Structure 1
Amino acid sequence: MSSSALPLFRFGVIADPQYAAIPPHAVMDRYYANSLAKVAEAIEVFNGWELSFVVTLGDVIDRSFSSFDDILPVYEKLRHEALFLLGNHDFSVSAGHLSEIATRLGMPSPYYSFSRHGWRFIVLDGNEVSTFAPPEGHPHRALAAQMLAELEENGARNAHRWNAALSDAQFAWLADEIAKAGEAGEKVIVMNHYPVHPPSEHGMWDSERIVALLAAQANVVAYLNGHDHVGNYGKAGACHFVNFKGVVDTESENAFAIVEVYAAHIEIRGFGREESRTLVY
């Protein structure tokens, strides 16, 4: 078998477990408590593969800081590194816990990057400018309220308080990370909780500037996200935008994926409700 027929590396993806020990919301098809068993099932599959890491694309919990005490021990059975990023529901906790979420998830900081096998992964904090994540009285809260009001006034479809934006500082950091990756000869995969493309009611408030940046960079291959539980896919420039389906949806059917990175394409192996895709780059 030629070397190009083998993946360079693989990693696992889970989106939106949204665990809470509460009854299901049948109308929305959300079964919060069932996510413990679904995540455990995904981990059992992941443990049968050689993976670099497993990333959960935000909304580990639906609400209540104590929910982390139930779901994070499930990840301890994973034989691979577990990586997290922040989703909007992860901040559905009492005000005193808002600043502790990233630490509770074992994250180095709310946004960060790491390199594997000559690829750079850039992990965004899509909640930075929001009406729920910054502490009370923080300038980002006031900025979020202003941005949301302007979007509402313009009739924007993503004018919802469960969406958010990057700060200008984080956006500049993203551009800088992509540039540094380019200098190092690294290809880039960006990961965030929120979609930015195709435009949708779940999109980041500053989707347009993010898409414009990523679509203009030759070394940015993909942007992976959750948040919109039905899933989605789009392409802008050479960048593939993949929205993974939510684990919390449906009573028993799971949704997770193994992403295989090859020399000229990415293979997404979907399990349960998650779709399989081939992304050529």
Structure 2
Amino acid sequence: MTLTDKPLFRFGVVADPQYAAIPPHVGMNRYYANSLQKLSDAIDVFNGEDLAFVVTLGDIIDRSFKSFDDILPVYERLKAPSRFLLGNHDFSVSAERLDSVVGRLGLEDSYYDFKVGSYRFIALNGNEVSLFAPGEGDAHRALAASHLAVLKAEGAVNAQTWNGALSDTQFAWLEVTLRAAKAAGEMVIILNHYPIYPPNEHNLWDFARVLELIEKYDNIPAYFCGHNHAGNFGEHGGCGFVTFKGMVDTPDENTFAIVDVYAGRLEIRGFGREESRTLVK
């Protein structure tokens, strides 16, 4: 594919602001309250560019439903549309508020897809089968407990209570959406809070089946995620797996990115602690 100098479009990426009006956890390098200023500074940069949208890859808050009241107004300064994904900390709210998280973020569904030009973006919800997002008595919470027990028995590195998985229904939807995108001649970028590659303790519980599905398609140049605040990167089957660094980390050094989408490649421009990369497809 011929490379061009003019991007088809560009979009912004933020991972893990994890805001809360609480003191920092210095031992974990988490400065929760500082994310308001960091996000505002990132938006200043985003507003200086012509962006199709800005996506936050989950963990908008660290805890407490009222934290949304502080951080969501900051996003209102964005000139570009804002897209949200759900992270594990977004469900660190009281039990009676669990069902309100999706709506509070302005989402109609917890997983969805949208199109920009010839690109299909697929936003997954890796919290659907977990010990924290489904309410008490929800079948997905019981399924999560059994799923985690199996992973622990296997000694899986990602057998962690703060990870989750896709439901079978969501996975079937992913299959159908990927098949339709391929038939339509669309390129696909998958977005999720949880990594699936390289192997890591932060990975989605059912990373293997998602990775196997992605391997079947040659039109997926990238899988973008957060959750692992240190960041990560790997290439597998022609797809670049980018874990963006957590904004909540460090007292004042920021991290976010702008992705320039060209015919044949993605140029990730990292700001602050985020690395710049080129993904060729």
Give the superposition deviation at 1:207: 0.4
Structure-to-structure mapping, 1:1-281, within 5 angstroms: 4-281=4-281
The answer as to whether partners of 2:233 and 2:241 remain within 8 angstroms in 1 is yes
Give the whole-Å Cα distance in 1 for the aligned partners of 2:107 and 2:260: 24
Q: Is there any run of 5+ residues in structure 1 with no aligned partner, and where?
A: none
The answer as to whether partners of 1:196 and 1:203 remain within 8 angstroms in 2 is yes
Query: Could you tell me the TM-score, scaled by structure 2's length?
Result: 0.98
Give the whole-Å Cα distance in 1 for the aligned partners of 2:257 and 2:104: 24
Aligned letter for 1:196?
A: I
SS in 2 for 1:261: strand
Give the superposition deviation at 1:271: 0.2
Give the whole-Å Cα distance in 2 for the aligned partners of 1:135 and 1:169: 18
User: Which deviations, in whole Å up to 9, do the C-alpha atoms of 1:60-99 show, x marking residues without a partner?
Assistant: 0000000000000000111110110100000000011101
SS in 2 for 1:6: coil
SS in 1 for 2:221: strand
Q: What fraction of aligned residue pairs are identical, expressed as a percent? A: 62
Give the whole-Å Cα distance in 1 for the aligned partners of 2:236 and 2:95: 38
SS in 2 for 1:4: coil
Give the superposition deviation at 1:3: 8.3
Q: Is there any run of 5+ residues in structure 2 with no aligned partner, and where?
A: none
Aligned letter for 1:208?
A: A
The answer as to whether partners of 1:178 and 1:220 remain within 8 angstroms in 2 is no
The answer as to whether partners of 1:39 and 1:74 remain within 8 angstroms in 2 is yes
The RMSD of aligned alpha carbons is 1.0
Give the whole-Å Cα distance in 2 for the aligned partners of 1:241 and 1:172: 21
Deviating above 2 A after TM superposition, structure 1's stretches of 4 or more consecutive aligned residues are none
- Range moving further from structure 2, 233-242 or 11-20: 233-242
Query: Could you tell me the TM-score, scaled by structure 1's length?
Result: 0.98
Q: How many residues align?
A: 280
The answer as to whether partners of 2:3 and 2:265 remain within 8 angstroms in 1 is no
Give the whole-Å Cα distance in 2 for the aligned partners of 1:9 and 1:179: 24
Aligned letter for 1:243?
A: T
Aligned letter for 1:51?
A: L
Give the whole-Å Cα distance in 2 for the aligned partners of 1:102 and 1:185: 31
Give the superposition deviation at 1:236: 1.4
SS in 2 for 1:158: coil
SS in 2 for 1:131: coil
Give the superposition deviation at 1:108: 2.3
User: Which deviations, in whole Å up to 9, do the C-alpha atoms of 1:223-268 show, x marking residues without a partner?
Assistant: 0000000000111111111000000000000000000110011000
Give the whole-Å Cα distance in 2 for the aligned partners of 1:185 and 1:151: 37
Give the superposition deviation at 1:4: 1.3
Give the whole-Å Cα distance in 1 for the aligned partners of 2:108 and 2:180: 20
The answer as to whether partners of 1:58 and 1:84 remain within 8 angstroms in 2 is yes
